[in-house]
Amino acid sequence: MDTAAITITGCTILPMTGRGEVIEAGHVTVVDGTIVAVDKGAAPAREGETRIDGRGKVLMPGLVNAHTHLYQVLLRAVWEDMPFLDWLERIYGVARVLNPEHAAAGTLLGCLENLKGGVTTVCEHNFLNPGPECAVATVDAMGESGLRGVFARTIMDTGEIVPECTRETPQTAFTRIEDLMARHRVNGAPEAPRRLTFRTGPNTPPINASPDLLREIRRFADHHSIGISAHVAESASVVEVTRRTLDRAGVVEHLKDCGIPGEDAIFAHSVHLSPDEVRHLAETRTAVSHNPVSNMMLGDGIAPVVEMLAAGVRVGLGTDGAASNHGQDLFETMKAASLLQKVKHQDAGVIDPYSVLRMATVDGAAALGLGSVCGTVEAGKRADLILLDVEKPHFQPVNDLVSQLVHCAKATDVDTVVADGEVLMRERRCTRLDEEGVVRRAQAARRDLMERMPAA
């Protein structure tokens, strides 16, 4: 394993630490997984180091995918063009046939796609659990990928469209989550505990989470000092259910009643929020994962990102699962995030590219509680880095590096990926994952999953 010393030289460095400063022809040195030097000029050679030539490349923090469902790569383009709650019912129905091999094979392919697109941290919002085994398989596959991971194991205790097999009492779910965390601590690969953190949460309140569950989740999260992840106000139909059944004006208002918002919580989507709800997120330091491609694909609406940023809400970016995206490309997500706000406000200057790049790096890391660990290129942080080949025709010539990273770069421009000081990809070749094997295994898992799926 490649974790001793790494020096990347001759590259243009975008550390994401200040207002977009760039270091030309610089170097970054990593020792035992930690960044020890970021500077101009050449680096002295170290004995036994891995030396990577970064000429013609941009070095920046690895991207943070703040919300996805990894196994859903098996479900790309299966259900399209349907109303949100009907689509959700199909997704939940997968629980009736999902087995650990589907979860493992899908998660590995999802990790591979994230990794090849420059993502070094992925938040897996896990919500289909017909028994404890699928979560175990997912966590193991995330560990195998080498990526930094947040495993948000959420709970559904109610809801007409939730199959019985994946509905849990709070106590059953909490025991399973405690078992998972204990198992991981005992059996995880030596480097895995450092790379993986856990969260819990309601899945999509209020349609599959009772108020009692919400209060229990807050207690459980506080007791274990783990964060919360939830799908919040993704579609107007969810807000409508909240109004009709709970007499609350919005989902955040309902969550506030049950103590869910907080610095350790990340609310995926947050598309349909009132100005009061946006203020509440800012006041409680609740983070948001903005998932614009998924929101467009499902016809959900456009999240009030400009308003949230103005209010001081911490906003990260996510792809969401491939069942509503249909990929895991965070560069594409950045471009969509930028353009969507320009369209919404009919104002080309309403959002600047550096803010978008922050969402995909430093702000995303902070939103997941990893602000002291990764998200920037600076001494003392763990080495989650990517090198991008910017010599390609669609990127040249460079007039504005930051804008071009948001609006020109593609996932396939990522040349090298380092996560937690380990080189996971070099010159687009993966060092840990057997790419062809992962793809073949996912193809087999997809065939098996489709054969088991009842006709709609």
Considering the complex, what minimum distance in angstroms separates the CB of residue 397 from Zn ion? 38
Backbone angles phi, psi at 300, to 5 degrees: -75, -35
Q: Decide whether 84 or 354 has the Cβ nearer to Zn ion.
A: 84
From the number of C-beta atoms within 10 Å of its C-beta (0-12, 13-18, 19+), residue 311 rates as middle
Radius of gyration of the chain (CA): 21
Q: Is the peptide bond between 206 and the residue preceding it cis, with omega within 30 degrees of 0?
A: yes
| SS3 state at 248 | coil
Considering the complex, what minimum distance in angstroms separates the CB of residue 324 from Zn ion? 7
Q: Which of residues 43-62 bind Zn ion (CB under 5 A)?
A: none
Structure tokens, 347: 């104002």
In angstroms, the CA 263 to CA 240 distance is: 27
Q: Decide whether 68 or 404 has the Cβ nearer to Zn ion.
A: 68
157 binds Zn ion (CB under 5 A): no
Considering the complex, what minimum distance in angstroms separates the CB of residue 320 from Zn ion? 5
User: Which residue's CB atom is positioned nearest to Zn ion?
Assistant: 320
DSSP string spanning 153-205?
Answer: EEE----TTS-GGG---HHHHHHHHHHHHHHHHHHS-TTHHHHEEEEEEESST
Considering the complex, what minimum distance in angstroms separates the CB of residue 6 from Zn ion? 34
Considering the complex, what minimum distance in angstroms separates the CB of residue 91 from Zn ion? 9
Backbone angles phi, psi at 362, to 5 degrees: -65, -40
Q: Which of residues 253-272 bind Zn ion (CB under 5 A)?
A: none
Question: Which of these segments, 81-89, 203-211, 313-321, 370-378, binds Zn ion (CB under 5 A)?
Answer: 313-321
Structure tokens, 455: 């006709």
Counting residues that bind Zn ion (by CB under 5 A) gives 1
Structure tokens, 244: 């009709």
Neighbouring-strand partners of residue 53: 9
**Do β-strands 63-68 and 57-61 pair in parallel, antiparallel, or remain unpaired?**
unpaired
Q: Decide whether 38 or 123 has the Cβ nearer to Zn ion.
A: 123
Considering the complex, what minimum distance in angstroms separates the CB of residue 78 from Zn ion? 16
In angstroms, the CA 296 to CA 423 distance is: 34
Q: Where are the alpha helices (DSSP H) in 196-351?
A: 211-224, 236-246, 251-257, 275-284, 292-297, 305-311, 330-345
Question: Which of these segments, 257-265, 316-324, 397-405, 443-451, binds Zn ion (CB under 5 A)?
Answer: 316-324
Q: Decide whether 15 or 321 has the Cβ nearer to Zn ion.
A: 321
Considering the complex, what minimum distance in angstroms separates the CB of residue 231 from Zn ion? 5
Pattern 272-311, Zn ion, x by CB under 5 A: ----------------------------------------
User: Order of strands, edge to edge, in the sheet holding 63-68?
Assistant: 63-68, 119-126, 148-155, 196-202, 227-232, 265-269, 287-290, 315-317
In angstroms, the CA 60 to CA 306 distance is: 24
- How far, in whole angstroms, is CA 388 from its chain's centroid? 20
Considering the complex, what minimum distance in angstroms separates the CB of residue 122 from Zn ion? 13
Q: Decide whether 41 or 299 has the Cβ nearer to Zn ion.
A: 299
Considering the complex, what minimum distance in angstroms separates the CB of residue 110 from Zn ion? 13
Q: Decide whether 320 or 384 has the Cβ nearer to Zn ion.
A: 320
Pattern 318-357, Zn ion, x by CB under 5 A: --x-------------------------------------
In angstroms, the CA 269 to CA 111 distance is: 21
Q: Decide whether 157 or 300 has the Cβ nearer to Zn ion.
A: 300
Question: Which of these segments, 35-43, 205-213, 314-322, 394-402, binds Zn ion (CB under 5 A)?
Answer: 314-322
Judged by the rule CB under 5 A, the positions of this chain that interact with Zn ion are 320
